[in-house]
Structure 1
C-alpha cells in the first residue's frame, strides 16, 4: 500500500493523493454536472446514451467489474480476512466468506442508504484514526525535522528479513534511503516515480479512476 511504498521510496507516493485531490475537483465541477444533466448514474449508462447501442455499455461494465475484482475487492477481502485471522484465530477462507456475507446482507437489506451511513461512519473513523496516528508518530520521532533526519538514517535489518522467510530480498535491492527520498516530484530518469511518467502517464489513468 501507500504506507509501505512511502517507507520504501520516500515522499513521492504522496503525489498520488495530491493528484486525487485535484482530480476530484475536476469530477465535481466538470464531470458530475454532465452526468446529472444526462440523467445517468453510471458511466456505462452514459456511454450508451452518448454513443448509442449496448455493446459499449456492456463492455465497459464488464471491464469495470473485472478491474474492481482484481485490483480492489480481492485486496480488501484478503486484508480484512487476514486481520480477522490474526486477531481471532479464524480460518482465512472462512473469514473471507464471512466478510462477503455480511457485506451482501447489509447492502441487500439496507440498500444505498445503509451503504451511505456505513461509508460516513468509516470516513469519520479513518480520518480520526489517521490524524491521531500522525500526531502520535510525529511526537514520537520529534516532529517533521525528526522525520527528515531519522528517515534518512533508517536501514532495514537484512538478517531479520532473511530469517523471517522473506525470499524476495536480493543484494540488488536498495536498502539505504535514496538521496531524493524527501522529494515528491523527482527527475525524469528516477527509477521509482519520474515526473513525466507521473504527470503524463498517471494523470489520464487517474481521470478514468476518479471521474468515470
Structure 2
C-alpha cells in the first residue's frame, strides 16, 4: 500500500514538473539546447540525526558515503536551465546507543543505507563559467534499517559550481553542494532522523540541440 502511494506521488510530481517546464520553454523561441550529465560525489561530510540534539538518543556516524547521478537538462535561456535526474547513494552507518547501566557493554550496530533520489533543479548561470542551482527531490530508501528512520520523503539540494567547456559538446563541472533528506518525511514522528550532506560533486556533460 505504501509503495503504491509513493509511486503515485512520484508520478504526480514528475507530471506537474514536466507540464510546468513545457509551458516555460514554449515562451522562449531561442530555447532548444539539451544536455546529459553524469556526476559522482567522492568527497562529503554526512550528519545523521534529528535537527535538534537530544540527550540519551542514539548516535549515528556515517562512513564511505558515495553517490552518483544522471541528469537531463534543458537550456531555457542563456542563463536559465531546468533539469530532472536519477541518483543513488550508499553509505555505512555505525549506530551507538547510550550507556544506561555501566555494567552492560555499550551497544553498537553496523548497518548500511542505500537511497534512490529524483532531483528537480533550476539553475542560473553567472559570470562566464559559474552557476547556482537549487530544487526539491523525492528520495526512497532501498533497504531496511531498524536503527535509522526510513529515509523516504521530500528533500532539497542547493549548490554552486563551475562548468568548463572542453569542446562545443563536452564540458566538465565541479560543484560544492548541501543536501538534506526527509525535510518532509513520508513517515512522520518526533525527532525524525534526517541525513544532511555537504559534498563536492564532479561531473561531465554532453550537450546537443540548437546553438
TM-score higher than 0.5: no
- Which has more helix, going by share of residues? 1
- Which has more strand, going by share of residues? 2
Q: Which has the higher contact order (CA 8 A, sep 6+)?
A: 1
TM value normalised by structure 2: 0.20
TM value normalised by structure 1: 0.20
